[in-house]
Amino acid sequence: MTAASLRAQNPAPAPAAPAPGENVVKADPVPADLGASAKAAVEKLCTEVVAGRYQIAIDRMYPQWKERMAKRAGGMENLNAQLAQAPILLQKNGVTLLSSKPEGAPQIFQVAPGKRIEKVGGSDVAVMGYTKWLVIVPTVTRFKISKTGASTMAESTSFQVAVSDKGKYDWTFIDGSSATLADLRSLFFSLPVDLQLPKIGGGEIGGERK
């Protein structure tokens, strides 16, 4: 009799089920106004950027992502310098931002598992729960490209990732154009395995989308 057949006849015992509350992360009901709050915050961010106030993109960046972006840029000073170059590069390439706004349904997730205290039967009990809301908000940006006296209208699709601690609607952001799915998973490992991010693309209005 082979070792494989012995294992088939005598399978290993199933692992013991966890005790009640053990290794179980508690999800909360999604507040009815959560998606609208995140979309409004993204719209405000987009409006500020279109108005030329680019510093808000760093000021309201998700802190851990800001640290990572600064490291990639060689320090926060370099990251700020890159941001300062953004309007100059747009002007050099004849690009004028016209509008940027949320468009489409947001995707809402609970992330960042951690212990928290809840009242159970009048007693304080430590439970595992998600500590942050993460909302993926699709965006559409329209701009004009002027070259040699002619101009064309174009638009691009992208998304913002809005993150807030639970109990607050204090949103910080990750720009979808600068973050991959792997980047997001490295920050928020509890995201669904089948997560599909909004498409990033664009093209001339009335022309073929890429």
Which tens digit of pLDDT belongs to each residue from 74-120? 999 999 898 888 888 888 889 999 999 999 999 999 999 998 888 88
Asked if residues 174 and 197 have their Cβ atoms less than 8 Å apart, the reply is no
Q: Does pLDDT of 179 surpass 70? A: yes
Q: Does pLDDT of 16 surpass 60? A: no
According to the model, what pLDDT value does residue 83 have? 85
Of 70, 94, 68, give the one whose Cα is nearest residue 81.
Answer: 70
Q: What are residue 54's phi and psi, to 5 degrees? A: -70, -20
Of 143, 138, 179, 169, give the one whose Cα is nearest residue 37.
Answer: 169
Tell me the two tokens of residue 20.
Answer: 């009640």
- Spatial separation of the C-alpha atoms in residues 135 and 163, rounded to whole Å: 6
Asked if residues 148 and 112 have their Cβ atoms less than 8 Å apart, the reply is no
- Spatial separation of the C-alpha atoms in residues 182 and 140, rounded to whole Å: 23
- Spatial separation of the C-alpha atoms in residues 162 and 115, rounded to whole Å: 22
- Spatial separation of the C-alpha atoms in residues 92 and 90, rounded to whole Å: 5
- Spatial separation of the C-alpha atoms in residues 49 and 61, rounded to whole Å: 13
Q: How confident is the model at residue 6 (pLDDT cuts 50, 70, 90)?
A: very low
DSSP letters for 72-116: HHTSHHHHHHHHHHHHHHHHHTTEEEEEEEE-S--EEEEEEEEEE
Digit-coded pLDDT (tens) for 40-65 = 999 999 999 999 898 999 999 999 99
Q: How confident is the model at residue 207 (pLDDT cuts 50, 70, 90)?
A: low
According to the model, what pLDDT value does residue 98 have? 95
- Spatial separation of the C-alpha atoms in residues 127 and 119, rounded to whole Å: 10
Residue corresponding to tokens 């500020």: 48
Q: Does pLDDT of 9 surpass 80? A: no
Q: Does pLDDT of 172 surpass 50? A: yes
According to the model, what pLDDT value does residue 107 have? 98
According to the model, what pLDDT value does residue 23 have? 60
Tell me the two tokens of residue 191.
Answer: 């995201």
Domain boundaries, given as residue ranges, for the chain: 32-204
SS3 162: strand
For the chain, what is the mean pLDDT? 87
According to the model, what pLDDT value does residue 105 have? 95
Q: Which residue has the higher pLDDT, 96 or 20?
A: 96
